Structure 1
C-alpha cells in the first residue's frame, strides 16, 4: 500500500492540473482579460490579469488571476482572450476553449494513478487476507 501511495504522490500536482483544466473545459466561459502587471521570474514570466465580466459590471470585487511560466501576450494593458469558470473566476487560463488540450495531462495521470491505486487496493486486500 505504501508503494501505491508513493506512486500516486509523485504525480499529485499533475492530477490537480488535470482536474483544473477539465473543470475549465466543462464549465468554462470565454471572455476577455487585460494584463495589469508583468514580472520576470526564474520559471519565465508571471503575468497578473484582471477579468472583465460582462454580466455584472457593478461588481465590487474584480476577479483576478495569475499565470506563471507563460510568455506574455503583449504589453501591460493589452486585452487577451480568457477562459474562466463563473463559479470561481480566479481559476482561469488565457486562450479559448478550443485551446484546452487534456491529452498530455490525462496520459500522465493514467500512467501514475492507475498503477498506484491498483497497488493500494492489492495491498489492502492482502492485508485483510493475511492479518
Structure 2
C-alpha cells in the first residue's frame, strides 16, 4: 500500500510540474505586464522600421526618454503598427528597464486574461506538487 501511495505521489508531482510548465509563458507575460503597470511611465516612441513576419508584424521603436538621455530601442512583435514609419506613438516603459516597453497607454494594460491563466494552471499545479511531495515523503 505504501508503494502505491508513494508512486501516486510521484505521479502527482509530475502532473503538477507539467501544469506549471504549460503556463510558464503566461506567467512571464503576466509578470511583465504587472511590472509595467506598477512601474511604467508613459512616454513617446517613434517607429523607425516595420517588417511582416509569420506572426504578424515586427515593429522597431526608439523611445524618446526625458532629460537628454540616449534613446532606447525596443522591438514589438505581433502587434499591428499604429501608423507609418516615423510617426510618434504613445508608449509605456519601465525606467529601470526601458526595453520592457509596450506601445499604448498605461490605462490600457489589462491583466485579467493572463491572471486567469496563471490561476487556472499554477494553483492546481503547485497543489499537486505539494500533495505529491507529502505523499512520497510520508510513504518513503
> Which structure has the bigger radius of gyration?
2
Aligned residues: 128
Unaligned stretches of 5+ residues in structure 1: none
Q: Residues 58 and 11 from structure 1, CA distance in 2 versus in 1: closer, same or farther, beyond 3 angstroms?
A: closer
TM-score by length of 1: 0.95
**CA distance in 1 between partners of 2:69 and 2:49 (Å):** 23
- Shift in Å, 1:16: 0.2
The answer for the alignment partner of 1:104 in structure 2 is 113
* Residue deviations 1:94-118 (CA, integer Å, cap 9, x gap): 0011000000110011000000000
* Residue deviations 1:34-71 (CA, integer Å, cap 9, x gap): 0010000010000000000012x143xx3111111111
Moved over 3 A (4+): none
TM-score by length of 2: 0.89
The answer for the alignment partner of 1:71 in structure 2 is 80
The yes-or-no answer on 1:10 pairing with 2:12 is: no
Unaligned stretches of 5+ residues in structure 2: 1-12
Decide which structure has greater helix share: 2
